[in-house]
Chains A and B, each alone.
Chain A
Amino acid sequence: MSEEPRVGVFVCHCGINIGGYLDVPDVVKYAGTLPGVAYAEANLYTCSSDGLQKIKEAIKKHSLNRVVVASCTPRTHEPLFQGACEEAGLNKYLFEMANIRDQCSWVHMHERDKATQKAKDLVRMAVAKARLLTPEEEPEIDIHPVGMVIGGGVSGLTAALSLADQGFKVHLVERESKLGGYLNKLDRLFPDNTRAEDVVGPLIERVTEAPDITVHLNSAVTDVKGFIGNFDTEVATGDETQPLNVGTIIVATGADYLRPEGLYGYGEVDGVVTQLELEQLIKEGKLGKARTMVMIQCAGARIEERPYCSRVCCSEAMKNAMLLVDEDPKREVYILYRDLQTYGLEYSGLEWDAKRKGVKLVKYDAERPPTVTKGERGPVVNVFSPLLGEELTIEADVVALSVPMVPNPDNKRLSQLLKVPLNQDGFFLEAHVKLRPLDFATDGVYICGTAHSPKEVAESLAQARGAASRAGIPMAKGRLRTAAITSVVDQEKCSGCGTCIELCAYNAITKNEKKLAQVTSAVCKGCGVCGASCPERAITMRHFTNEELEAQGLAALREA
């Protein structure tokens, strides 16, 4: 801006929060002496409606074109003050804040003079930066109201239905020739032995009939370009590929399960099967004469190479154990476990029921896992029970291994395609473990179901509905205001070294035809990593330009 800077400084007493511990009038007086400052005043509460009104009046009366508020934290209050500036006709990026509460009165409560001096320093720095501020715009982008769901298990089906019920068109992409996912392999489901087909069946029916959902079977997503609101994807079905433009993408690609070759005699000793194979045997009624069954929990899970717990296998074992004794009460069923993961209102009862039905629960130590060897009749299991203090030998007819879910082998390819991360175990990694469990750091892409981590049907369904809410938000709005604070590459200075491209966590920077860095502003989060690392200093962060930061830094070092 060619206009001379006329900065207004508003110093807040914050009741006694600031005013009680440092000399606010002195800070105001000092602010008035700083170059570029046209006006300075103190307020009891700058954030009160009265205080905000005063800012607006001062902007008009003193023709202020920059505003500095010295008060509390920008984290909570910056938007409020920016709003006041906007209402007075000033671009909100012409505002700067100094936090003299947290950084002065709070931490130097008993050092009035020093706290006052530090407040002056912070105000001087803020003014130095404010003088150089320029107005910024927040460009809007259109959001194409069409969602894509990758994976047609219970999660994907539920997410697709919710998006359709919210009023959006949906493309559901499923790798296999049939919808339903892992539940197609299962018979009964814990906690209440509902048939798996009775759970997925109705979902598949509704999805197939929904006019707004297009199902792509035998299909894979082979290309993804663009960003939230406007992803250009390619979906391959057989030899044909078709381009699909979608606004958001939900990943619901589920998980695989461990093939336990060599574990506990699997593949070597007859009668050793996985829990899933046992489920098939129960379903087909092929266990007629078998009397003694042993289930080994954590088979390949919670060990060094695969540290995570697979969450569902303890309940799954209880379910199968009870089905077995229900079928023939004379059967002896042992569950050898480390820690039972039957939890919450939903699944705790399984443990009580299993005990009541005579299922034998035997704890083993991770350091002394059971062994399975080939006996005369069938597999022989040896397990040391720390509770009994002795080793048990069980001659079994069938040994079922509770193997963990493992990441879908396709995850790596998908994660590269969608530019979203995987965690150390190989499952998809959400944006924030606590508060953004269904978002990816990349805007417009969401996650649910066992692709996120092992979990039950109910949790998968809740997450799927949740992912549909997250994806529905930008699509319902139709337009998205993107951030103004983004990076800009000076094409004259850029050498095309690619440092920034490597470092950007949001994949906001690509190379253009001239092999120089180019920023997609809609994707940039303004974190500044690229700006800080560009060896040519070709990258400027809007609202945090090198000149502004230098001025602020220099002001810290020298008195004005």
Chain B
Amino acid sequence: MKPVMVIGGGVAGIQAALDLADRGLEVHLVEKTPSIGGVMAQLDKTLPTMDCSICILAPKMIECFRHPNITIHTQSQVKEVSGGTGNFDVKVLKEPRSVDESKCTGCGICSQKCPTKVIDGWQEGLTTRKAVYIMFPQAVPLTATIDREHCLYFQKGVCQVCSKVCPAGAIDYEQRPEELNLNVSSIVVATGFQEYDPTELKEYGYGRFKDVLTAMEFERLVCASGPTGGHLNRPSDNKLAHRVAFVQCVGSRTHKKGYPFCSSVCCMYATKEAVLIKEHDPTSEVNVFYMDLKVFGKGFQQFVNRAKSHYGVNYVRGRPGEIRMNPLTNDLTIWYEDTANGDVSSMEADLAVLCTTMIARPENVELAKALGLELDEWDFFKSLNPLTNPVETGMPGVFLCGCSHGPRDIPESVAEASGAAACAAEVARRFM
């Protein structure tokens, strides 16, 4: 039987690939970045069970790597697709890693010796990495990659330290982009989402005030493998954040700047992050500013109940109008209308976390064109029918799962990934 292609190596893509490979189908897993894992690899804990996120994801990532039926193509993107269901010809472009995957052992010596510091996107910009780097300690494949845009050798023709220190002789500056032509019976799109950038919402001061973070930044800050080792030192002055405010619906549920839809997951991940703070320090003051608390998932209301009664997280109904900063103390003041009484009130905080909308990735536009898929008005992939055919698309043989077609949490992404895998398996059988 022909192989299947899965585009995107987040938790959804990983699950789809494993389901297909386990049943005996060959899978090409195409991931844009140097490692599979997606956003889940960056999260600290996952609600409502508070499992360590990477600890439960890493075994699945390794399973993909070791699976005889799965070929992982990292730093790769789909460029052209022709044919139709049962018989797609796909052109994949693989960027050069500048490191020989078969030789690199992931020891990290190159990174230690590399002189060039670069803002670390995987750590949400809260710290730096080197120009030659391994995305994160549990990366799969555990292989270094050279960021050519910042590497001294590629930019100025000097240095080459990494190649000198690599004990495995894995550095290869001569690698060229590679073009792969793959024939597959069906395609699963699992390209996920990105966080809305709240800079345009001037009233919240994101980008101006260092201690106004997005929720993704907070996930890295609170994580033991994050830039502060999991201590809540706020970025401006390293002071331990004791009073933390969460602002919900940042860029969501609005017809002004942002998006009209509810992002589904943020009420609950805010609750999780609030509980994490309370677990670190039960005396800290944590307030969540919300409009409607979305508790529709299995066990969610119970989780919120526990956050309130056991951990003492405080929920305030109201959308903050403005965040100000005191330049002397760096402390923040959150101005909001308390809908419990209609009064405008304010609250002090050491740190504010903006729970921003999950939005579509800009690459979706090009990918949709290549695949012949429709996008919705916000550039998410469109289901064939949101009521009756959620994982199918207008293109027979191309299926969706995870956040590529809208915000959803991990269990839903995983369940859908299996659903998309079933669709792909049905196609594989039809064109046996």
Chain A interface (Cβ within 8 Å of chain B)? 14-17, 44-45, 47-49, 75-76, 79-80, 162, 165-167, 189, 191-192, 194, 199, 302, 307-309, 311, 337, 339-346, 348-349, 352, 363, 386-387, 389, 423-424, 427, 432-438, 452-453, 457-459, 461-470, 472-473, 476-477
Contacts and interface: CB of A to CB of B under 8 A. Distances in A.
B121 interface: no
B23 interface: yes
Contact of A462 (B23, B264, B416): B416
Contacts of A472: 23, 422, 425
A389 B261 contact: no
27 contacts: A14-B107, A75-B59, A76-B59, A162-B426, A165-B429, A192-B386, A302-B295, A302-B301, A307-B305, A342-B262, A343-B294, A344-B261, A348-B260, A386-B339, A423-B298, A434-B49, A434-B411, A435-B60, A435-B410, A437-B412, A437-B415, A438-B415, A465-B422, A466-B418, A468-B422, A472-B23, A477-B23
B274 to A, nearest CB: 17
Contacts of A340: 292
B299 interface: yes
Nearest to A301: B301
Contact of A166 (B264, B339, B390, B422): B422
A137 B421 CA distance: 31
Nearest to A315: B296
A433 B24 contact: no
Given A307-B302, A470-B19, A189 B411 contact: no
Contacts of A438: 415, 418
A427 B19 CA distance: 25
Contacts of B261: 343-345, 348-349
A129 to B, nearest CB: 23
A349 B261 CA distance: 7
A469 B411 contact: no
Given A435-B56, A472-B422, A476-B24, A309 B417 contact: no
Given A458-B390, A465-B422, 18 more contacts: A16-B107, A44-B167, A76-B59, A162-B422, A307-B302, A309-B301, A343-B261, A343-B263, A345-B380, A348-B262, A424-B302, A433-B48, A435-B57, A437-B415, A453-B298, A469-B418, A472-B23, A477-B24
A433 B260 contact: no
Interface string B88-103: 0000000000000010
A21 to B, nearest CB: 13
Nearest to A427: B298
B368 interface: no
Contacts, number: 203
Contacts of A352: 255, 260
B51 A434 contact: yes
B387 A457 contact: yes
Contacts of A80: 66
Interface residues of B, number: 78
A346 B378 CA distance: 13
A162 B292 CA distance: 37
Given A79-B66, A308-B298, A461-B388, A433 B411 contact: yes
A516 B294 CA distance: 51
B9 interface: no
Contact of A476 (B11, B340, B378, B425): B425
Contacts of B56: 432, 434-435
A468 B411 CA distance: 16
A17 B107 CA distance: 7
A76 B406 CA distance: 33
B405 interface: yes
Nearest to B341: A389
Best-buried of A162, A167, A462, A464 by chain B (most CB within 10 Å): A462
Contacts of A311: 296-297
Contacts of A162: 422-423, 426
A448 B155 CA distance: 54
Contacts of B297: 311, 453
A363 B302 CA distance: 21
A15 B22 CA distance: 33
Contacts of B119: none
A469 B388 contact: no
Best-buried of B19, B107, B342, B410 by chain A (most CB within 10 Å): B107
A307 B304 CA distance: 10
Contacts of A463: 415, 419
Contacts of B107: 14-17, 45
Contact of A344 (B23, B49, B58, B408): B408
B347 interface: no
A199 B386 CA distance: 12
A317 B411 CA distance: 26
A459 B422 CA distance: 15
A192 B420 CA distance: 23
A459 B413 CA distance: 10
B240 interface: no
B108 interface: yes
B418 A48 contact: no
B387 A189 contact: yes
A80 B406 CA distance: 38
A48 B105 contact: yes
A226 to B, nearest CB: 22
B416 A466 contact: yes
B54 interface: no
Interface string B229-265: 0000000000000000000000001010000111110
B316 interface: no
Nearest to A75: B59
B313 interface: no
B307 interface: no
Nearest to A453: B298
Contacts of B305: 307
B62 A307 contact: no
A389 B302 contact: no
Nearest to B255: A352
Contacts of B302: 307-308, 424
Top 3 closest pairs, chain A to chain B, by CB? A15-B107, A466-B418, A465-B419
A49 to B, nearest CB: 8
Best-buried of B342, B391, B426 by chain A (most CB within 10 Å): B426
A499 B263 CA distance: 48
A377 B343 CA distance: 37
Contacts of A343: 261-264, 294, 296
Contacts of A386: 317, 339-341
A100 to B, nearest CB: 16
Interface in B379-394: 380, 386-391
Nearest to B389: A461
B25 to A, nearest CB: 9
